[in-house]
């Protein structure tokens, strides 16, 4: 089936493409709640840790970790960080981001353990049109990850270059099948 025009099939059916929000749709001060959560398994932690060549015993060695202050293995904080950012993508940046510019102020106030479920929320703390890239804007987001008990396990400030809707739609073919 070929599309007749933007958002319409031959049958006249409207097409709705899943995407994040454009720069002009993001609101400062609003809490964006990202669901579903992600229950983190031992396999997730071991695979991520070994894929990234992080041989830290706190992630891999159960016997040794039992003798350490937390008494058990900890989920790799880089996995936690990647998951917190990843949970925001479908709602905020899927297909609407130009580039990730920075991650800053990263903290892990409480460990994440195997079997914990990670939930993420985002607040847009600032936004401005780009002075050098017409049709794009810079957005600053504060992501917070919490476990199933509401305990904060990760905080990160993320700065992204985002499309304005009109500029993005003008720059790409409406028939493109990309993200």
Please state the rounded mean pLDDT for residues 35-49: 97
| Sequence spans of domains, the chain | 19-171
CA 31 to chain centre: 14
Per residue in 120-174, pLDDT tens? 999 999 999 999 999 999 999 999 999 999 999 999 999 999 999 999 988 886 5
Residue 40 has what DSSP assignment?
A: P
Q: What are phi and psi of 157, to 5 degrees?
A: -100, 130
For the chain, state the CA radius of gyration.
20
pLDDT in the model for residue 9: 63
pLDDT reading at 3 higher than 50: no
Rounded-to-integer distance, Cα 82 and Cα 100, Å: 13
Query: Nearest 10 degrees: CA dihedral of 78, 82, 83, 88?
Result: 150
CATH code of domain 19-171: 3.10.129.10
pLDDT reading at 2 higher than 50: no
pLDDT reading at 5 higher than 70: no
Residues linked to residue 3 through DSSP beta bridges, in sequence order = 9
Q: Is the pTM of this model over 0.85?
A: yes
Per residue in 52-80, pLDDT tens? 999 999 999 999 999 999 999 999 999 99
């Amino acid at each position: 089936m070929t599309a007749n025009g933007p958002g319409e099939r031959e049958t006249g059916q409207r097409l709705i493409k899943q995407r994040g929000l454009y720069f002009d749709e993001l609101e400062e001060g609003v809490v964006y709640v990202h669901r579903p959560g992600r229950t983190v398994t031992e396999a997730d932690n071991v695979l991520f840790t070994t894929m990234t060549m992080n041989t830290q015993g706190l992630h891999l060695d159960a016997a040794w970790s039992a003798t350490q202050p937390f008494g058990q293995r900890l989920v790799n904080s880089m996995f936690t960080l990647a998951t917190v950012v990843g949970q925001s993508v479908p709602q905020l940046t899927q297909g609407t981001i130009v580039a990730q510019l920075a991650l800053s102020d990263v903290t892990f106030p409480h460990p994440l353990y195997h079997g914990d479920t990670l939930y993420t929320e985002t607040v847009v703390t600032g936004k401005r049109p780009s002075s050098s890239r017409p049709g794009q804007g810079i957005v600053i987001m504060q992501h917070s990850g919490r476990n199933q008990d509401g305990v904060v396990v990760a905080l990160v400030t993320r700065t992204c270059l985002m499309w304005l809707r009109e500029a993005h739609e003008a720059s790409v073919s409406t028939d493109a099948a990309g993200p």
